Structure 1
Amino acid sequence: NLRDKKEAPTEMERQRLDEGNKKKLGSLDQRKTDDCFVRLVEEQKKEKEETLNKIHQLEKELDCKDKLEMETQELKGKLQVMNEELEEKCFELENLECIEWALVIKERQSNAELQDAREALIKELRELVSDRTSITIKKMGELDEEPFIKACKERFTGEEADVQHAMLFSKWQENLKVAAWHPFKRVGTGDQMQEVVYEEDKQLKSLREEWGENVKNAVKTALEELNEFNASGRYPVPQLWNLKEKRRATLKEVVEYMTLQIKNLTH
């Protein structure tokens, strides 16, 4: 009995220990369950966030796609308008080119008619004008002989002066006919560009050094006139000339001069 009494508490203690262990195990299981639940909740939360992010990203991409489509349509519309405007401009340009070509033809015809009129007047006025009348006929590009005569008389005497003058003058008449000799330079830009005599040309410079400024200027003037009135032919051509103003006479000036001469003859 005493032994039973001693073992009894031990059994009771074992039972209490078992119950304590069960409670501990239960507590551990509960903790594990709670931990699993928390992890599950966190994983679901993370998946939900990832899903929402994907949805937002897709929405953004969709918005971008919509905007891109709208911009594409807008650009297509602008391109269509530009094409229509371009076609219209091309049509206008073709019309302008036709008008311009018609004007060019008309201008050429007018210039040809004016040139014919000038040539006819030159032919008729040859016997009616002189170096003393206000309107005369001047051969443009013709070399002025006077400076050559003067220069040779200053250097030579008698017949020698005449011979030297004839040789020098003839030489420069021939030089002026050489189309390959083009002692000009361009000055200015755009519509203001023009050709002027290049006075540092080797031949002109040599002429000035040997025979003086006046002889060189006579050749320079002939070159300028040839370049303006007969650049392709390089020979003197007759022109109606306003002697007072030292320029080519207009047809109006020539007609007024002829009208005045007729009136003077009838009175």
Structure 2
Amino acid sequence: MNPNHKIESDKLADWLAKKIVEEIEKRANEMAKQKNEELKKVRKEKNEELKKVRKELKQIITDKDKMLKKVMKEKKEELEKGNSALITKERQSTYELQEAHSELIRGFRDLSGEGSVIGVKRMGEVDEKPFLKVCEQRFNGENVGLQHAMLCSEWQKNINDSAWYPFKLVVTGEKMKEVVDDEDEKLKKMSEEWGEDVKNAVTTALEELNDFNPSGRYSVPALWNFEHGRKATLSEGIVHMTQQIKNLKRQRT
């Protein structure tokens, strides 16, 4: 073979090989580009689907939230109506109990006699017995009645005087409570002048006012259990009044 022909043949072979490689690279690049475009398209479609799903989920959550809020609002309104009805019923029951208590007090004023176990006591009204006792010890004759009346009247006036506030706060358990302050100057002076029994009578009246009529400084009637020295329950009052009525009926027959 002619050397020149061999050279030309090799050049042609190299050129062909180069062209084949270029063609292969070109096709590979085109295929890669096509696949990349297809992948982008798929990703775009998937992203659109995902956005759609997210939008649907968001709408579902929004609808559920609205429904939940609506249900909660309805339940709240139902509870408020029920609570309002209970409060009204409780107020009505309290009013009826107060009315029954007041009626019992009015009835006991007519039915109860001296030494009755259940009766009416004026809360905040000073007990006159200690005053009478001390007046009998210090005064003679007609002066006893006069001094006793003046002394009781003076201290009842003091007890009803809102400007005089002989109370202090003390802690009992986890609560704060108002009690009579034994260190009050007026009470201390009274104890020195008239004795401890008279002071205790005034202290008791002050405590009763603070318990039974804290908004005012005047005595109020209360159904009282004299046997146990405490406020009588409504049932105790009804039972006792029923017995009193039965006794009256027996006396009339």
Give the alignment's TM-score, normalised by structure 1: 0.59
Deviation at 1:146, TM superposition (A): 1.3
Partner of 2:90: 107
Which sections of structure 2, spanning at least 5 residues, go unmatched?
1-64
Q: Is the 8 A contact 2:111 2:244 kept in 1?
A: no
Equivalents in 2 of 1:175, 1:219: separation in Å? 9
Deviation at 1:242, TM superposition (A): 1.1
Aligned equivalent of 1:167, options 150, 173, 177: 150
In the alignment, the residues of structure 1 paired with residue 118 and residue 152 of structure 2 have an alpha-carbon distance, to the nearest angstrom, of 28
Gaps of 5+ in 1: 1-83
Alignment match, 1:9: none
Between the two proteins, the alignment pairs up a number of residues equal to: 183
CA distance in 2, matches of 1:153, 1:119: 37
Mapping of residues 173-212 of structure 1, within 5 Å: 173-188=156-171, 192-212=175-195
C-alpha distance in 1 between matches for 2:165 and 2:84: 32
| Alignment correspondent of 1:52 | none
1:141: how far off?
A: 1.1
Contact 1:134 1:242 in 2 (8 A): yes
Q: Distance in 2 between matches of 1:187 and 1:111?
A: 30
Structure 2: which amino acid aligns with 1:199? D
- Picking from 232, 241, 257, the partner of 2:215 is 232
Q: Relative contact order (alpha carbons < 8 A, sep ≥ 6): 1 or 2 greater?
A: 2
Offset of residue 214 of structure 1: 0.4
Distance 2:72 2:190 in 1: 58
Q: Which amino acid aligns with 1:118?
A: H
Question: What amino acid is aligned across from residue 226 of structure 2 in structure 1?
Answer: L
RMSD: 2.9
1:138–1:241 CA contact under 8 A, matched in 2: yes
Distance 2:81 2:172 in 1: 29
Distance in 1, matches of 2:81 and 2:178, equals 32
Does residue 235 of structure 2 align to residue 255 of structure 1?
A: no
Is 1:141 matched up with 2:124?
yes
Separation in structure 1 between the aligned mates of residue 137 and residue 79 of structure 2, nearest angstrom: 63
- CA deviation string 1:89-128 (max 9, x = no partner): 9998888777666544443332221111111111122121
